[in-house]
Structure 1
Amino acid sequence: MTGAKNPKTTISIPNPIFDLAWFSLIATCVKLLLIPSYHSSDFEVHRHWLALTHSLSLPNWYLDETSPWTLDYPPFFAYFERFLSLFAKLVDPTIVDLHDGLNYKSPSVIIFQRLTVMVSDMVLIFGIYRLGRKLGSRERNLIWILVVWSPGLLIVDHMHFQYNGFLLGILLVSLSCLEEGRDLVGGFVFAVLLCFKHLFAVAGPVYFVYLLRHYCRGGWVRGFGRLVAMGTVVVAVFVAAYGPFVYYGQIQQVFHRMFPFGRGLCHAYWAPNFWVFYILLDKGLAFVVAKLGFTIQVPTASFTGGLVGDSSPFAVLPKVTPLITFVLVLVALFPCLIKAWRNPQPSMITRWVAYAYTCGFLFGWHVHEKASLHFVIPLAIVATQSMEDARHYFILSIVSCYSLFPLLFEAQEYPIKVLLLLLHSILMWFGFSSQFSQITSAKTRATSQKKGYKSGLKESPGTVMQKQAFNIGWIGTSYLLGLLVVETWGQFLHPIILGNRLPFLPLLMISIYCALGMMYSWIWQLRRIISTR
């Protein structure tokens, strides 16, 4: 007797590209709504670069002084602006007019430049797709929430105005290649990134040590051959970028524009890093010395004048030079470089690179607050690996986003930035809770089955005890509540109590308090890297 055949069942396989398209579409809708919002002077910077690269011949790009916003990015970004200028001219010729276009703010230029950032974000989408395509759907979706819906990127790129998503997308593509073992391609893409924005070079030592130990191995002959191959690829990229300027004798001028060390140790609004505490210590010592009756020359409004310039004088402590900051960054990187040398693991490269950018942010010269995105975005990939990583990222992401609030200082943008941060914090909380409750449940079921408990009939006695909800502990909670206190003072109480006195105090409080969180993140990452085998 022949048994009845089982009907064919159709198994639905989730399509990560389709899912990511939905995430990107929702993010794009938000970006479109932000088009009329505030934009900083960076908007005019990039508009001028469109006009500059379109109107002048290549040898004059780094010589032009028509506007205060001179070209100071590497050549690949200049080529990128030149490419965009071809479309800008079709939209509105005034956009690319070197003289008539100065401070041009018509709807055509605003919409065009906003759209260029949205379109260039496709590189970020591609990079995050590559890094998450081999993960489970839950981890993949969580990473997409952290990156594609990042409030920091929305604030900096789509309101304040920059192209960080595009540049970070190139970084993520490079990291995805290294994680897959495609070291030559990963090194090539990183070299391309450096020719777009040289500030990403902070991770250069990590890339160098990792590729030397992981790619250039396998005996003297094979190792040397791979070293030559990697060197050839990297040199070819830099020749393509800088070669024309060498030919025209402008390479010295290019480097002069790219490394303007005369800007001083700190930006007008202090980035929340180590130098905040160094400056405060100097001011505290100056106050004590003056009280003791010693004569001391205290620079007027040094570091608190809110001006961009050479604000490097100290009253008591030694002056900090670019060389000192360079050495400090290398010293902070040293434990990570040792790990990469001894055991170059592809699974660790993203964590190491994020740590490198953290070191550059904390100890670098004239660091912008926006540079926190350089390590916050890569750490989103790491955040799904463990409960500890998730707790760390939850706090760091909130601190990083809050430290960007002063970029949007107009009243009409205040509800937007607060809402973006609150919504993202809620999404992170539920995302991490769902991710790690699922992992805990899976481990619990496996333990129960090993002990002989039948699924669905009886739970093992330790099941309830093994479950762990996502939380950040009382210290983390207290610290985040402190952000609320700082914001309440700066936004509401300071104008009432002090009026127009000490106008720099609210910014100072944000820098100091966020610097505590950034220093904690650096120490946490360092301990994590050292403890990982």
Structure 2
Amino acid sequence: MAKPKKSRNSAPDPSVAAQLPWRPSAPPLATFLLISFAALLLRALVSVGPYSGQGAAPKFGDYEAQRHWMELTLHLPSSDWYRNTSDNDLAYWGLDYPPLSAYQSRLHAHLINASLPDAVALRSSRGFESQESKLLMRWTVLSSDLMVFFPAALWFVWAYMKDGVGGSGERREGWTWLLAMVLLNPCLVLIDHGHFQYNCISLGLTLGAIAGILSRNELVAAALFSLAINHKQMSMYFAPAFFGHLIGKCLKRKYPIVEIMKLGFVVLGTFALVWWPYLHSYEAAMQVISRLAPFERGIYEDYVANFWCTTSVLIKWKRLYAIKSLKLMSLSATILAFLPSFIQQVKSPSNLGFLYSLLNSSFSFYLFSYQVHEKSILLPLLPASLLALHEPHLHGWFTYYALFSMYPLICRDQLLLQYIAVLGLFVLIYYSPGGNYGKGMKISSGTMAVLSLPLLCSILLHTMYLQIEPPKRYPFLFDALIMFICFSQFIILTLYTNYKQWMLDFHPRHVGSKKDL
């Protein structure tokens, strides 16, 4: 007897469908646009407030630094951007980022010069502040964010979901929450659009490189990460993770030397392209390099929640050791801190391990490297955001303390209202019905009790910092207490994430896709 024909519109057998490999379609455009619009609106609202150094003569702040670099790069030849001249006083916000950052300043200077030339006039524009110039400067950051960071975030989310990085089918529907966690990062929004910087460019290029790794476009990833380093040298925080993961992949392929050479050519070619104006002489290149490593400032400046600053209460590092010794100690400690994570990726490269390695590597630099600023917490916070679906508790905990570690800076910039607003919005989205916060590791009541103590202290310090005058003998007492609390949490988090990365070797089902090797 002939079998009855199956209707085209009949539903597929669930048992068969469950065995089929999952293939994600591109995220719905309308949903992506809605999340992006919300993220853009938040940035615009934060940018209405004050900025670093507003009205604070004679050097003002980071806003003036960025404006001054636009002034210099617009009017001076590239040979004079990094050296002291009559028109370029390096003591007044000398350019101290790599050439790609200088090219970005020049591009923005042309845009501002077209409508408000007084804002970037040579010499006479120092400390220039007007409502129109503020609007134009804010738009340069917004447009940079929209053109670099936003597309990179979408690419990452698509690549993450397509590859099944976490190895769990239940996370496939969480792309909207993950995208919101990445785009609505409160620390990045406050620093770039409140304080005033362009971290969105270097972090966006890094995020694009990470997405390239997940989507098996290693050469594109190498070029993008090289550009990130050439925009801000702090992107080197991620270098051990990229290097270890890519080397590990190459060593597992048929022709490892060829694969390594291809990556090397891309990296060298990208660097040569960016540094071309300075490659004509050793002296010109060294002028740039000397500006990128300000060792004369000491191993730390402000109250930053890393090892050197926190322990300086007991050990007076600057007084006991010369700069040369401190550089060697800092380098050794940083290498020792990221080495386990690096070795794990060379030995067993995987996409999930790579994300952990990015976090562990950047944490190592933040905690132990030389001349770290409080804003550098943005670097380890990026991979923590990317792990939000896999480690939701870690992401929420780290985001809170990263934001808290910058609280004194935010207060100095008079951005307290913006601080409360972005923190509140983050909490609402994090605990939203469609969120993933309840799907992470289970935390025991004892652990919660231990973790609650620093949380309660941090909440108390928020109020004390504003309402209570510290003792005259210890004017920075509350800054130091904030630093101690945040440092203790960062140490716990980095120990945990290093442990989790190495545990991937013993739980291969969590490693993610191996087909990309």
- CA 1:14–1:58 in 2, change beyond 3 Å: closer, same or farther? closer
- CA 1:206–1:260 in 2, change beyond 3 Å: closer, same or farther? same
2:421 paired residue number: 419
Q: In 1, distance between residues paired with 2:498 and 2:145?
A: 31
2:331 paired residue number: 326
Q: In 2, distance between residues paired with 1:116 and 1:364?
A: 31
Deviation of 1:255 (Å) = 0.7
Q: In 2, distance between residues paired with 1:235 and 1:225?
A: 15
Deviation of 1:326 (Å) = 1.1
TM-score (ref. length: structure 1): 0.81
2:512 paired residue number: none
Q: In 2, distance between residues paired with 1:30 and 1:72?
A: 30
Asked if residue 38 in structure 1 is aligned to residue 50 in structure 2, the reply is yes
Asked if residue 96 in structure 1 is aligned to residue 100 in structure 2, the reply is no
- CA 1:89–1:161 in 2, change beyond 3 Å: closer, same or farther? same
Displaced runs of 4+ in structure 1, greater than 6 A? 5-9, 467-472
1:395–1:476 contact (8 Å) kept in structure 2: no
Picking from 359, 383, 392, the partner of 2:388 is 383
2:70–2:105 contact (8 Å) kept in structure 1: yes
Deviation of 1:227 (Å) = 1.9
Q: CA RMSD in A?
A: 3.0
Deviation track 1:268-310 (CA, whole Å, cap 9, x = no partner) reads: x221011234212226xxxxxxxxxxxxxxxxxxxxxxxxxxx
1:296 paired residue number: none
Deviation of 1:504 (Å) = 1.3
Q: In 2, distance between residues paired with 1:531 and 1:224?
A: 29
Q: Give the partner amino acid of 2:394.
A: H
Q: Give the partner amino acid of 2:114.
A: L
Asked if residue 132 in structure 1 is aligned to residue 157 in structure 2, the reply is yes
Q: Give the partner amino acid of 2:319.
A: P
Q: Give the partner amino acid of 1:379.
A: A
2:70 paired residue number: 50
Deviation track 1:165-187 (CA, whole Å, cap 9, x = no partner) reads: 22211111101111122212111
Asked if residue 105 in structure 1 is aligned to residue 129 in structure 2, the reply is yes
Asked if residue 479 in structure 1 is aligned to residue 454 in structure 2, the reply is yes
- CA 1:19–1:254 in 2, change beyond 3 Å: closer, same or farther? same
Picking from 24, 29, 34, the partner of 2:36 is 24
Q: In 2, distance between residues paired with 1:337 and 1:410?
A: 38
Q: In 1, distance between residues paired with 2:176 and 2:400?
A: 19
Deviation of 1:318 (Å) = 11
Identify which of structures 1 and 2 has the higher relative contact order when contacts are C-alpha pairs closer than 8 Å and 6+ apart: 2
1:349 paired residue number: 354
Deviation of 1:128 (Å) = 1.1
Deviation of 1:33 (Å) = 2.3
1:403 paired residue number: 405
User: What is the percent sequence identity of the aligned residues?
Assistant: 22
Deviation of 1:264 (Å) = 0.5
2:36–2:150 contact (8 Å) kept in structure 1: yes
Q: In 1, distance between residues paired with 2:116 and 2:211?
A: 38
Picking from 465, 473, 477, the partner of 1:490 is 465
Q: In 1, distance between residues paired with 2:142 and 2:209?
A: 21
- CA 1:111–1:218 in 2, change beyond 3 Å: closer, same or farther? same
Deviation track 1:485-526 (CA, whole Å, cap 9, x = no partner) reads: 22232222336xx4x553211211111111111111111111
2:209–2:221 contact (8 Å) kept in structure 1: yes
2:308 paired residue number: 275
Q: In 2, distance between residues paired with 1:233 and 1:434?
A: 39
Q: In 2, distance between residues paired with 1:319 and 1:485?
A: 40
Deviation of 1:411 (Å) = 8.6
Q: Which structure: larger Rg?
A: 1
1:66–1:98 contact (8 Å) kept in structure 2: no
- CA 1:356–1:42 in 2, change beyond 3 Å: closer, same or farther? same
Q: Give the partner amino acid of 1:435.
A: N
What is the SS of the residue equivalent to 1:321?
A: helix
Q: Give the partner amino acid of 2:65.
A: V
Q: Which runs of 5+ in 2 are unaligned?
A: 12-24, 53-60, 162-170, 506-517
1:376–1:397 contact (8 Å) kept in structure 2: yes
Deviation track 1:389-434 (CA, whole Å, cap 9, x = no partner) reads: 2212211110001111111225953232123223312322336x84
Deviation of 1:319 (Å) = 8.8
Q: Which runs of 5+ in 1 are unaligned?
A: 284-310, 441-466
Q: Give the partner amino acid of 1:262.
A: E
Asked if residue 199 in structure 1 is aligned to residue 211 in structure 2, the reply is no
What is the SS of the residue equivalent to 1:281?
A: coil
Q: In 2, distance between residues paired with 1:18 and 1:470?
A: 40
TM-score (ref. length: structure 2): 0.83
Q: Which structure 2 residues correspond to residues 192-271 of structure 1 after superposition, within 5 A?
A: 192-215=227-250, 217-219=252-254, 222-247=255-280, 249-267=283-301, 269-271=302-304
Deviation track 1:174-221 (CA, whole Å, cap 9, x = no partner) reads: 0111112221211121111111111111222232222122035434xx
Q: Give the partner amino acid of 2:245.
A: Y
Picking from 192, 209, 213, the partner of 1:157 is 192
Q: Give the partner amino acid of 1:128.
A: A
1:494–1:506 contact (8 Å) kept in structure 2: no
1:507 paired residue number: 479
Deviation of 1:17 (Å) = 3.3
Deviation of 1:477 (Å) = 2.7
1:276–1:515 contact (8 Å) kept in structure 2: no
2:202–2:229 contact (8 Å) kept in structure 1: no
1:276–1:512 contact (8 Å) kept in structure 2: no
